[in-house]
Structure formats: C-alpha cells, structure tokens
A and B are shown apart, each in its own frame.
Chain A
Amino acid sequence: AQSVSQHNHHVILSEAASLELGCNYSYGGTVNLFWYVQYPGQHLQLLLKYFSGDPLVKGIKGFEAEFIKSKFSFNLRKPSVQWSDTAEYFCAVNARLSTGKLIFGQGTTLQVKP
C-alpha cells in the first residue's frame, strides 16, 4: 500500500532562514508527487508538483522540490523564508496510472518568527 511520511511535524524558523521539509513515499510503481500548502484560514492550494522530466521542480512563492527516485524522496526547499510562509505543508502522492486519489503525509506546520 502507498504511504507518505513527512519527517517534521512542527518546524519553527526565523525569517530569512533556509527551509527543507522532508517527504518520503512508499510505492513500487511510478508516481506523481505534490506539495500542497494551507495558509491560516485558507484552502489547501498547490505549491508544486512533479510527474515527469526535470526532477527539480519550481513552484509558487520561491519554493522548489527535488524528486530523488532512488531515495523515494520529494523534499521541499526554500532558501529564505518569510513570515508569510507560516502555514501547514502537505506532501502527497498518487500512482501514475491511478484515478488521481491522493495519499497525504501527516503535514508539517511551519511557524516563521518575524
């Protein structure tokens, strides 16, 4: 069965610090990978996704993620966080040939101190 593991449940950073959120998945086949974010009081929205091509993908608001197939990982990074990045971040995966249902990790709450 597919599963997604996010290593950090709660991260606190100061503004301008660099961010890396870990995500590992368990699945034997080809997958599509997603990072969603939920800002306080807002909907879940897509940050970025990978389904083929360059394993380094860039998303909105300066975020990027790297797919490392050999490590079953899709870590999210941002070189310099801002207070407005305070949110909950979710890694998700679905099988390439699936009907699209997403398997989510437990989420990581990021708190950025001004």
Chain B
Amino acid sequence: EAGVTQFPSHSVIEKGQTVTLRCDPISGHDNLYWYRRVMGKEIKFLLHFVKESKQDESGMPNNRFLAERTGGTYSTLKVQPAELEDSGVYFCASKPTIQGFETQYFGPGTRLLVL
C-alpha cells in the first residue's frame, strides 16, 4: 500500500512569489491534515479535511494560505504571496476515520524556504 506522498520535496522561492504544495493521502483515507514546522519550533496543526470539506481550519496562519481538496482525493496548499516567516517544513497526514485515537500517517514533508 502506498503511503502519503508530498510534492515537491523542497522548494526555494523569493518573498512575494506563490508556491503550491501537494499532498496525496493513502487511498481511502477520508481525513487529511496539514501541519507545519517552523525551524526550532514544534509541529503545528494547520487544517483538517474530511473528504472535500474543511472540518477545522483554526490553525491557518492568515489569508495568504489557501487549502483545497477537490474531489476528496489529493490536497493542495497554496501560499500567496509567500513571506519569510512561511519558511519551514509542511507535513501532510491522513487517516481513514475521524476518531481521535486513530493513527495519522505522515508524508515526508515539503521543505519550503522563502528568501
């Protein structure tokens, strides 16, 4: 069974540019989460999809971040325009159901560097 995949693995952009990160969850996993780790800090929750619907987007930093999950399969996270403080590692995770105790399966992350 294929795991969670993320693309690209690395991205270096200049301040003011746009970047789109993609996450492909494990097939059949309705629940998809985005997290971010800024260097030296803890991994922080950004948002949660159940199928194509945003269940919780309380962790999104501001309106420069836009997440979508059209069709309930893969998800994209767009940052527009990127700022220096957006640098970090963006993780995606998925799991089959919404049950809190269920294991989340993480992707390898996308390392974003904004110069």
Quick check: B103 and A103 within 8 Å, CB to CB? no
A-B contact count (CB 8 A): 67
Interface size on A, residues (CB 8 A): 28
A13 within 8 A of B: no
B95 within 8 A of A: yes
Quick check: B103 and A99 within 8 Å, CB to CB? no
Which parts of A30-50 form the interface with B (CB within 8 Å)? 32, 34, 36, 42-46, 49
A106 within 8 A of B: yes
Looking at chain B, what size class is its interface with the partner chain? 20 to 34
The 8 Å CB contact of A99, one of B4, B42, B98, is: B98
Q: Could you tell me the distance in whole angstroms from the C-beta of B69 to the nearest C-beta in chain A?
A: 15
Chain B residues within an 8 Å CB radius of A90: 43
**Given A104-B44, A105-B42, A106-B41, are A99 and B100 neighbors across the interface (CB < 8 Å)?**
yes
B104 within 8 A of A: yes
Task: Write the residues of chain B forming the contact surface with A, with a CB cutoff of 8 angstroms.
Answer: 3-4, 31, 33, 35, 41-45, 48, 50, 55-56, 59, 91, 93, 95, 98-104, 106-109
Task: Write the residues of chain A forming the contact surface with B, with a CB cutoff of 8 angstroms.
Answer: 4, 32, 34, 36, 42-46, 49, 51-52, 90, 92, 94-107
